[in-house]
């Protein structure tokens, strides 16, 4: 007797992917086409799908069906893959996404979720992503700006028309999926090779893909480092080569970091078992990233510090400005601003120091009344006008100009539009997400701000802006009435920096609202040793959070904790 088929049914987000011109490419050069697909799987598809919790449920040679638990993860994966393939000499993809019922049998997968995703993929533009209205309605404010209405589509064998949204191929995302604001500068390069393993077991391949994805996420969060995942080494820069070995259930990850000249400057080994691989992956990636970033930072700082101060180029001054601003202490703001000012004076048509400098100055303006910042703050109007012609396609500069302009005219609508534009340009850049969070917070868009901070914390686990994103998430939580959550973010942040004043002002407000008045007053007293001239009135003058109810709640908490009214 034949055993009955085992079936299961659930709601899933399905990503349908098709390689444009696959048959033609196979006919012209089968070996090169297959090799290109293997490289893309190792360097792009595998790591991104692993990072977004996607599972390939069907491979058809010229395409794939990938299942995700959420529409947000499916859209994130699709956008990141298309961003990394932008400019690829051979590969072009079409992608469609729908969320619906999916039925699995022993040897197949089917359902409306599959059928509609496949139909949308066929209608998608080359290099683009076409999604159904159900998927679009699931997106938060960090992803939805990337999509435009594409009308109602009548799909073959589907009873009702489907309302669609499209992200076209001519979007302004960068080839790496992250904002390469420094691509033309002399920032150091890091090439991460996909984690190699000779073991063909599916669980080992998945672990290797996950390690590659996490390494890419960690290193790409460093804003003074140009990072890419590629099986082909750059001619210069640093190279990270992880190799995963297995013997039965035992695992060993061996990682080597090579310097610009090719010499090995650091090695790392870590052992685990298949049963413990999931938890081990998080730990070992953090260890590798922490040590390797420290080695690269030490080498780069030593390289620049060996150059006489008056011989630093504009790019090197900008790099020092970025690296100086790591702990968000008040002194670091002044030093960082001075380096960006030097870079601008040395190279007035270089957009990056304007972007970096404006963000530093606007952050300083909301946090401190340090008179040493005044000479640089006085230059803001001049910098804005000089930077406007350089801002096209530059997410960071677009945002920096908009935030600085908002502090002058308090018009929230242009700032909101600038945030949406920046998110279209760089939806996965942890720094951009962090700064969009602050822009939303300052203009009274508290829920959108919290979404941005959450995404920034997800994508930027080690970058210096992680400190600011934790402070932003804590601030948003107090404004939303989630005081215990706010304290959780503050405590995480204090493990990284105890010199960031925002942690203490927000903590005092959260404690006050929770009725822990003695602790709130002690925390506020400590804050006032850092910022002795701060009052509720001076705070409102520099930042009233768009007059929002959340902003009023934050200020009320700080007043209750003991911040002087005037």
**Residue 133 and residue 25 share a domain:** yes
Residue 331 has pLDDT above 60, yes or no: yes
The predicted-structure confidence for 530-565, as pLDDT tens digits, reads as follows 999 999 999 998 888 989 999 999 999 999 999 999
Q: What is the DSSP string of 408-475?
A: HH--HHHHHHHHHHHHHH-TT-HHHHHHHHHHHHHTT-HHHHHHHHHHHHHH-SSSTHHHHHHHHHHH
In a domain, 293, yes or no: yes
What is the model's pLDDT at position 186? 65
Q: What's the CATH number where 251 sits?
A: 3.40.50.10070
In a domain, 361, yes or no: yes
CA distance 406 to 419: 12
- Does position 266 have pLDDT exceeding 90, yes or no? yes
Is 179 contained in some domain?
A: no
Residues 193 and 297 in one domain: yes
Summarize pLDDT for 367-393 with one digit per residue, the tens.
Answer: 767 788 899 999 999 999 999 999 988
Percentage of residues in the chain having pLDDT higher than 70: 94
User: Is there a single domain that holds both residue 241 and residue 128?
Assistant: no
Contact 237, 182 (CB under 8 A): no
Q: How confident is the model at residue 2 (pLDDT cuts 50, 70, 90)?
A: low
Answer yes or no: do 392 and 300 share one domain: no
Please tell me the total count of domains within the chain.
4
DSSP state of 196: B
pTM of the model: 0.80
**Shared domain check, 363 and 351:** yes
The residue among 3 and 249 whose pLDDT is bigger is: 249
The closest alpha carbon to 231, from 73, 89, 38, belongs to: 38
For residue 437, being part of any structural domain is answered with no
CB neighbours of 409 closer than 8 A, spacing ≥ 6? none
CATH number, domain at 514? 1.25.40.10
User: The domain containing residue 504 runs over which residues?
Assistant: 447-566
Q: Is residue 555 part of a domain?
A: yes
Handedness of CA 493, 497, 498, 503 (dihedral sign): negative
Task: Give the integer Cα–Cα distance in Å for 329 and 303.
Answer: 24
- Of 135, 167, 199, the domain-final residue: 167
The residue to which tokens 């706010």 are assigned? 486
**Residues 45, 150: one domain?**
yes
Q: Is there a single domain that holds both residue 412 and residue 471? A: no
Is 334 among the domain residues?
yes
Of 112, 132, 167, which marks where a domain is finished?
A: 167
Tell me which of 305, 331, 350 is where a domain ends: 305
User: Model confidence over 174-213: pLDDT tens digits?
Assistant: 433 333 444 445 678 999 999 999 988 888 988 999 899 8
Q: What is the pLDDT of residue 178?
A: 33
Are 76 and 147 within one domain? yes
201 and 291 housed in the same domain: yes
d(CA 96, CA 119): 7
User: Do 413 and 544 lie in a common domain?
Assistant: no
Residues 6 or more apart in contact with residue 515 via CB below 8 angstroms: none
Q: Is the domain of 343 the same as that of 389?
A: yes
Let me know if residue 20 belongs to a domain.
Answer: yes
pLDDT tens, residue by residue, 128-153: 999 999 999 999 889 999 999 999 99
Long-range CB contacts (< 8 A, 24+ apart) of 542-548? Answer: 542/365, 542/366, 542/407, 543/366, 543/442, 545/441, 545/442, 545/443, 545/444, 545/446, 545/479, 546/410, 546/412, 546/442, 546/443, 546/444, 546/445, 547/444, 548/444, 548/446, 548/479
Residue 66 lies inside a defined structural domain of this protein:
yes
């Amino acid at each position: 007797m034949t055993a009955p088929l085992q079936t299961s049914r659930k709601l899933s987000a399905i990503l349908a992917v098709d390689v444009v011109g696959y048959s033609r490419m196979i006919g012209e050069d089968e070996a090169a086409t297959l090799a290109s697909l293997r490289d893309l799987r190792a360097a792009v598809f595998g790591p991104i799908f692993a990072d977004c919790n996607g599972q390939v449920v069907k491979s058809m040679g010229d395409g794939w069906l990938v299942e995700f638990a959420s529409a947000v993860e499916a859209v994130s994966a699709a956008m990141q893959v298309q961003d990394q393939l932008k400019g690829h000499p051979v590969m072009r993809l079409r992608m469609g996404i729908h969320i619906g019922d999916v039925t699995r049998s022993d040897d197949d997968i089917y359902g409306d979720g599959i059928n509609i995703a496949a139909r949308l993929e066929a209608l998608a533009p080359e290099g683009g992503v076409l999604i159904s209205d159900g998927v679009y309605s699931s997106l938060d404010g960090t992803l939805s700006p990337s999509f435009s209405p594409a009308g109602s589509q009548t799909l073959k064998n589907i009873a009702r028309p489907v309302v669609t949204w499209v992200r076209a191929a001519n979007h302004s995302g960068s080839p790496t999926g992250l904002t390469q604001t420094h691509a033309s500068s002399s920032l150091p390069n890091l090439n991460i090779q996909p984690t190699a393993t000779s073991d063909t077991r599916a669980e080992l391949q998945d672990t290797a893909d996950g390690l590659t994805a996490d390494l890419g996420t960690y290193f790409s969060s460093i804003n003074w480092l140009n990072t890419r995942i590629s099986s082909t080494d750059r001619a210069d820069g640093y190279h990270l080569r992880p190799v995963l070995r297995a013997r039965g259930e035992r695992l060993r990850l061996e990682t080597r970091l090579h310097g610009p000249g090719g010499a090995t400057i650091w090695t790392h080994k870590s052992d685990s078992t298949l049963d413990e691989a999931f938890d081990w992956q998080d730990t070992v990636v953090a260890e590798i990233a922490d040590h390797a970033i420290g080695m690269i930072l030490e080498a780069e700082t030593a390289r620049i510090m060996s150059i006489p101060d008056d011989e630093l180029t504009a790019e090197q001054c900008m790099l020092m400005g970025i690296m100086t601003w790591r702990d968000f202490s008040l002194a670091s703001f002044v030093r960082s601003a001075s380096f960006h000012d030097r870079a601008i004076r040395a190279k007035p048509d270089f957009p990056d120091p304007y972007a970096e400098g404006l963000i530093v100055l606007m952050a300083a303006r909301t946090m401190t009344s340090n008179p040493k910042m005044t000479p640089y703050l006085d230059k803001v109007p001049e910098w804005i006008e000089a930077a406007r012609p350089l801002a096209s396609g530059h997410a960071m500069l677009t945002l920096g100009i908009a935030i600085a302009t908002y502090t002058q005219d308090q018009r929230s609508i242009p700032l909101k539009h600038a945030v949406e534009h920046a998110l279209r340009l760089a939806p996965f850049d942890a720094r951009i997400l962090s700064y969009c969070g602050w822009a939303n917070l300052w203009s009274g868009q508290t829920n959108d701000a919290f979404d941005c901070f959450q995404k920034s914390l997800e994508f930027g686990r080690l970058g210096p802006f992680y400190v600011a994103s934790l402070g932003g998430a804590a601030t948003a939580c107090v404004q939303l009435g989630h005081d215990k959550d706010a304290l959780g973010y503050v405590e995480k942040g204090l493990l990284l920096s105890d010199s960031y004043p925002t942690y203490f002002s927000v903590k005092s407000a959260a404690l006050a609202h929770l009725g822990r008045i003695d602790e709130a007053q002690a925390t506020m007293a400590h804050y006032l040793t850092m910022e002795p001239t701060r009052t509720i009135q001076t705070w409102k003058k520099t930042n009233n959070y768009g007059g929002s109810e959340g902003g009023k709640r934050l200020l009320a908490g700080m007043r209750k904790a003991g911040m002087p009214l005037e």
